[in-house]
Amino acid sequence: MLNDPKISQPWGVATFGAATVVAEPDFARVTVELSSIEESPAEAFQAAQRLIADFRAVLRAHHIPVAGVSPSRLKLATHYEYSPAHETRRKAGFKCEAEYEIETRAIESLQQLLIDVVDAGVDQINGIEFDVRAKRTLRAQARRDAVGAARAKAALYADAAGIKLGRVLHIEDVDPERLKIYSHGGVHGGVEEDFAPGQIVITAAVSMGFAIDH
């Protein structure tokens, strides 16, 4: 490495290390939307409030605390119906809608929760995401493991080259996404047909440089 004519200023050993930590998800995040369409704004608001009351009753039945539901403001807009045959649209009342994000630790009963909120009036489920609350700790472990991998690789090269590895000269955090080190859904679990959460895979990567002791 030191005598390679392509290297104008040889300085040491540079390596890259990557590591992943796998964990079982311990909560789910679900985004839902409910709406009502009525002839007047007042009727649309009233219908939406009834839907929200039924929706919250379902959440209480599933023991989801108030803190586990993001607040949402009601949105009101004129609703139009489009006629493809005539390429025209007409005013068809007023639409009142609200979107909520729900967090639940009861992953095993998530499917039933979704069924119940739809029965209560939710007309759209915009997303289901599985996650783990200890993500910061797991990411720190992945970064430590990545440093260990980079150091082990550098030590192997040094041993193979008959040199002694010196002190660390450079540490650079590397975005695993940029290097296409993809996990199963990034840091999110996959959603199977039976709503199985899969696993949370957290990846870290680092580029390191080491001096050579003479």
DSSP 133-192: TTHHHHHHHHHHHHHHHHHHHHHHHHHHHT-EEEEEEEEEEE-TTTTT---TTTTS----
For 124, other C-beta atoms within 10 Å of its C-beta total 12
Tokens representing 198?
């899969």
| pTM of this structure | 0.68
Q: What pLDDT sits at residue 60?
A: 95
The CA distance from 197 to 32, in Å, is 18
CATH number at residue 153: 3.30.110.170
Is 4 a domain residue? no
Residue 162 lies in a domain: yes
In a domain, 41, yes or no: yes
At residue 84, the pLDDT reads 79
| Block residue for tokens 């199985």 | 196
Is the domain of 125 the same as that of 142? no
Q: Give residue 192's domain range.
A: 13-25+134-213
| Structural domains counted in the chain | 2
- Under 8 Å CB-to-CB from 78, ≥6 apart: which residues? 91, 93, 94, 95
Is 62 inside any structural domain?
A: yes
Counting beta carbons within 10 angstroms of the beta carbon of residue 59, is it exposed (0 to 12), middle (13 to 18) or buried (19 or more)? buried
Report pLDDT for 197: 67
Same domain flag for 112 and 41: yes
Q: Is residue 164 located within the same domain as residue 206?
A: yes
Q: Is residue 184 part of a domain?
A: yes
Rounded CA gap, 197 and 29, in Å? 11
* DSSP strand pairing (164-174 vs 200-213): antiparallel
Give the pLDDT score at 9. 61
Q: What is the pLDDT along the chain (214 residues), one digit of tens a residue?
A: 444 445 456 679 999 999 999 999 999 999 999 999 999 999 999 999 999 999 999 999 999 998 999 988 889 999 888 877 777 778 889 999 999 999 999 999 999 999 999 999 999 999 999 999 999 999 999 999 999 999 999 999 999 999 999 999 999 999 876 655 444 443 333 333 345 567 899 999 999 999 998 7
What pLDDT is stored for residue 1 in this prediction? Answer: 41
| Structure confidence at residue 5 (pLDDT) | 46
**Which pLDDT value is given to residue 10?**
60
CA angle 72, 73, 76 (to 5 degrees): 135
